[in-house]
């Protein structure tokens, strides 16, 4: 073979290579066309908005106001409609509780066309795993969210929030509006690092700081990748400067996680260190993962440990950041609810300036306001599945195995057939009486069914602590010149940040 190749001229080699690329290209195109045909045929009985032959609905989705468009489509096409991201990727977009229940009460796998973008960074952790391995990991990780583990985290939330509020106190002296998004993001990442790796009591080391920067960078790069068609193909992406920057940041994040795991494992061999860990005021997430055994006596491998830690860092920080920012925006926009929340917090805390575990269950009005802000501004606006078996919907229509589903949480939460005056901010929707008759799949900011968010209690506790302390310390109002512009990018962001005016309430405020 080699002598034959050598005897060919460069020209012939080029000809062969182009021929091969052409054949492979045709083959790939034929597969894609076949797939398109299959997906389109499956959705034949679902009418939907007009589709561009090349872009599908991608252009509408990338524009500002795409979420309002999604709500108007949901109004026009009850239950569900096809949604095409480019020529080959077609989902059935659903936003009606019974439709959601039909799919999300089962454990169908995630749609790899979307979720594989995360793989390089977070590996096969809980978010991306499927089948028996997902089930085994989920069982192993549930104890990490037991309330005995969550209890001491309240002090961690308080510490990180204080650092942020002190920063805001200084900024607020200028009596100008400022964007709170980055500070909330840093606070949420700092908290999660402390709860995951046990860092923080002695401050973040240089290595921790590089990790912290890498995680921020990875989140941003991943969002840009999802948005940019040209980056969707792995091969092309890794060749671009953007893709190479992503790989470098991944390396920093992986090196950090691996080293922390190595150090912790070594410490566990040492009896004195073991005593120290037991005396620590709280177990962190890594302690629990390292101590997790399943019923067959197996432990998580190093690769699994890293994937789970990285998954938590990814799934846990941007989501809470979005939730907290939109909630504070709602408080600034609806001062009457802000005042009621503040009154409630003052009543619960008395002259204390800190929040404790037992306070959280008493914050009923604040909790209703958080839920209402999660309804109007769900931090994760869309999630995707690929059907492992056919599904029959309540109205008699069905979809075959292999079909792709997009659950539009944002459109579901503003569905006029489910919510009266869906655009109105009304926390009383979440009183026990008003919640009693509601469809269990009508309000699902943490998704629903077996693949719901494992971190939801952690997240709710964090949001309550952070927002309660913010409201105690500041009166919030809007910047009328810069209202947030909703933008779905994995999480629900604002294109221009969250510009608020913060008025310190002084020592008499309870802080």
Going by C-beta distance under 8 Å and a sequence separation of 6 or more, which residues neighbour residue 107?
134, 449, 450, 451
CB of 433 to ligand HEM, least distance (A): 25
CA angle 450, 131, 226 (to 5 degrees): 80
451 binds ligand HEM per the rule CB under 6 A: yes
CB of 317 to ligand HEM, least distance (A): 7
Residue with smallest beta-carbon separation from ligand HEM:
455
Tell me the residue length of the chain: 511
Nearer to ligand HEM (CB atom), residue 457 or residue 509:
457
CB of 323 to ligand HEM, least distance (A): 4
380 binds ligand HEM per the rule CB under 6 A: yes
Distance, in Å, from the CA atom of 87 to the CA atom of 341, rounded to the nearest integer, reads 48
The structure tokens listed for 396 are 């008699």
Q: Which stretch binds ligand HEM (CB under 6 A): 58-66, 238-246, 297-305, 451-459?
A: 451-459
CB of 193 to ligand HEM, least distance (A): 11
Question: Could you tell me how far CA 46 lies from the centroid of its own chain?
Answer: 29
Q: Which of 48, 123, 185, 379 binds ligand HEM (CB under 6 A)?
A: 379
Going by C-beta distance under 8 Å and a sequence separation of 6 or more, which residues neighbour residue 273?
267
According to DSSP, the β-strands at 499-504 and 398-399 are: unpaired
Q: Answer for the pair 90, 84: CB distance below 8 angstroms, yes or no.
A: yes
Q: Which of 187, 453, 469, 492 binds ligand HEM (CB under 6 A)?
A: 453
CB of 184 to ligand HEM, least distance (A): 12
Distance, in Å, from the CA atom of 339 to the CA atom of 345, rounded to the nearest integer, reads 10
454 binds ligand HEM per the rule CB under 6 A: yes
Q: Which stretch binds ligand HEM (CB under 6 A): 167-175, 233-241, 311-319, 342-350?
A: 311-319
Q: Which of 138, 207, 333, 340 binds ligand HEM (CB under 6 A)?
A: 138
Q: Which stretch binds ligand HEM (CB under 6 A): 28-36, 347-355, 422-430, 439-447?
A: 439-447
The number of CA neighbours under 13 Å toward the Cβ of 232 is: 13
315 binds ligand HEM per the rule CB under 6 A: yes
447 binds ligand HEM per the rule CB under 6 A: yes
Nearer to ligand HEM (CB atom), residue 185 or residue 316:
316
Using CB under 6 A as the criterion, what x/- string covers residues 393-432 for binding ligand HEM? ----------------------------------------
Nearer to ligand HEM (CB atom), residue 127 or residue 164:
127
Residue 470 known to bind ligand = no
The structure tokens listed for 288 are 């629990």
Q: Which of 160, 172, 320, 386 binds ligand HEM (CB under 6 A)?
A: 320
Q: Which stretch binds ligand HEM (CB under 6 A): 11-19, 47-55, 317-325, 365-373?
A: 317-325
Distance, in Å, from the CA atom of 447 to the CA atom of 438, rounded to the nearest integer, reads 16
Q: Which of 445, 484, 488, 510 binds ligand HEM (CB under 6 A)?
A: 445
Q: Which of 93, 160, 219, 319 binds ligand HEM (CB under 6 A)?
A: 319
Nearer to ligand HEM (CB atom), residue 142 or residue 485:
142
DSSP 3-state of 386: strand
Distance, in Å, from the CA atom of 396 to the CA atom of 82, rounded to the nearest integer, reads 17
List the 474-478 sheet strands across, edge first.
178-179, 499-504, 474-478
The structure tokens listed for 39 are 């997906």
Nearer to ligand HEM (CB atom), residue 172 or residue 223:
223
3-state secondary structure 394-455: CCCCEECCCCEEEEEHHHHHCCCCCCCCCCCCCHHHHCHHHHHCCCCCCCCCCCCCCCCCCC
311 binds ligand HEM per the rule CB under 6 A: yes
Q: Which of 126, 214, 218, 355 binds ligand HEM (CB under 6 A)?
A: 126
According to DSSP, the β-strands at 391-392 and 474-478 are: unpaired
Number of Cβ within 10 Å of residue 510's Cβ equals: 19
According to DSSP, the β-strands at 404-408 and 90-94 are: parallel
Nearer to ligand HEM (CB atom), residue 58 or residue 126:
126
Q: Which stretch binds ligand HEM (CB under 6 A): 211-219, 265-273, 387-395, 454-462?
A: 454-462
Q: Which of 231, 419, 458, 498 binds ligand HEM (CB under 6 A)?
A: 458
CB of 72 to ligand HEM, least distance (A): 23
43 binds ligand HEM per the rule CB under 6 A: no
CA angle 464, 221, 160 (to 5 degrees): 25
Cα distance from N-terminal residue to C-terminal residue, the chain: 80
Distance, in Å, from the CA atom of 100 to the CA atom of 94, rounded to the nearest integer, reads 7
Q: How many residues bind ligand HEM (CB under 6 A)?
A: 23
Distances (CA, A) of 282 to 91, 256, 286, 296, 468: 44, 22, 11, 28, 23
Distance, in Å, from the CA atom of 2 to the CA atom of 346, rounded to the nearest integer, reads 82
CB of 204 to ligand HEM, least distance (A): 18
212 binds ligand HEM per the rule CB under 6 A: no
State the burial class of residue 27 (Cβ atoms within 10 Å of its Cβ: 0-12, 13-18, 19+): exposed
CB of 443 to ligand HEM, least distance (A): 12
CB of 106 to ligand HEM, least distance (A): 12
Known binding-site residue numbers for heme: 453
Contact residues for ligand HEM, defined by CB under 6 A: 110, 126-127, 138, 311-312, 315-316, 319-320, 323, 379-380, 383, 445-447, 451, 453-455, 458-459
């Amino acid at each position: 073979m080699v002598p034959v190749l050598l005897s060919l001229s460069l020209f012939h080699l080029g000809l062969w290579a182009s021929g091969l690329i052409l054949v492979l290209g045709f083959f790939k195109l034929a597969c894609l066309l076949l797939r398109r045909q299959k997906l389109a045929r499956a959705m034949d009985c679902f009418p939907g908005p007009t589709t561009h032959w090349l872009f599908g609905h991608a252009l509408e989705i990338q524009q500002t106001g795409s979420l309002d468009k999604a709500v108007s489509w949901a109004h026009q096409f009850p239950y569900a409609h096809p949604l095409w991201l480019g020529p080959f990727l077609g989902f059935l977009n659903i936003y009606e509780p019974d439709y959601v229940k039909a799919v999300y009460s089962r454990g169908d796998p995630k749609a790899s066309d979307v979720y594989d973008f995360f793989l390089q960074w977070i590996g096969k952790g809980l978010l991306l795993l499927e089948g028996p391995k997902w089930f085994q990991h989920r069982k192993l990780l549930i104890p990490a969210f037991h309330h005995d583990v969550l209890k001491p985290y309240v002090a961690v939330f308080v510490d990180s929030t204080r650092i942020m509020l002190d920063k805001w106190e200084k900024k607020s002296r200028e009596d100008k509006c400022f964007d709170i998004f980055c500070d909330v993001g840093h606070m949420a990442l700092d908290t999660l690092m402390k709860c995951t790796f046990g860092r923080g009591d002695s401050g973040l080391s240089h290595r921790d700081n590089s990790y912290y920067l890498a995680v921020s960078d990875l989140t941003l790069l991943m969002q840009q990748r999802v948005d940019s068609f040209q980056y969707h193909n792995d091969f092309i992406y890794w060749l671009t400067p953007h893709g190479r920057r992503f790989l470098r940041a991944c390396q920093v994040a992986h090196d950090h996680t691996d080293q922390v795991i190595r150090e912790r494992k070594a410490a566990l061999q040492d009896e004195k260190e073991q005593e120290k860990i037991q005396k620590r005021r709280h177990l962190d997430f890594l302690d629990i993962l390292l101590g997790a055994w399943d019923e067959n006596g197996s432990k998580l491998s190093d690769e699994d440990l890293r994937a789970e830690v990285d998954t938590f860092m990814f799934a846990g920080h941007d989501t809470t950041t979005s939730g907290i920012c939109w909630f504070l925006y709602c408080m600034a926009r609806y001062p009457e609810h802000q005042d009621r929340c503040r009154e409630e917090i003052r009543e619960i805390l008395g002259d204390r300036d800190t929040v404790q575990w037992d306070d959280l269950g008493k914050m009923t009005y604040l909790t209703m306001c958080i839920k209402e802000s999660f309804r109007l501004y769900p931090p994760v606006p869309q999630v995707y599945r690929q059907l492992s078996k056919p599904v029959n919907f309540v109205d008699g229509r069905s979809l075959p195995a292999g079909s792709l589903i997009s659950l539009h949480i944002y459109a579901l939460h503003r569905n006029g057939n489910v919510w009266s005056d869906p655009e109105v901010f009304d926390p009383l929707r979440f009183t026990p009486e008003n919640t009693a008759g509601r469809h269990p799949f009508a309000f699902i900011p943490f998704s629903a069914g077996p693949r719901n968010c494992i971190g939801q209690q952690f997240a709710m506790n964090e949001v309550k602590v952070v927002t309660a302390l913010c409201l105690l310390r500041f009166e919030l109002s809007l910047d009328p010149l810069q209202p947030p512009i909703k933008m779905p990018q994995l999480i629900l962001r604002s294109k221009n940040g969250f510009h608020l005016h913060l008025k310190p309430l002084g020592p008499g405020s309870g802080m």
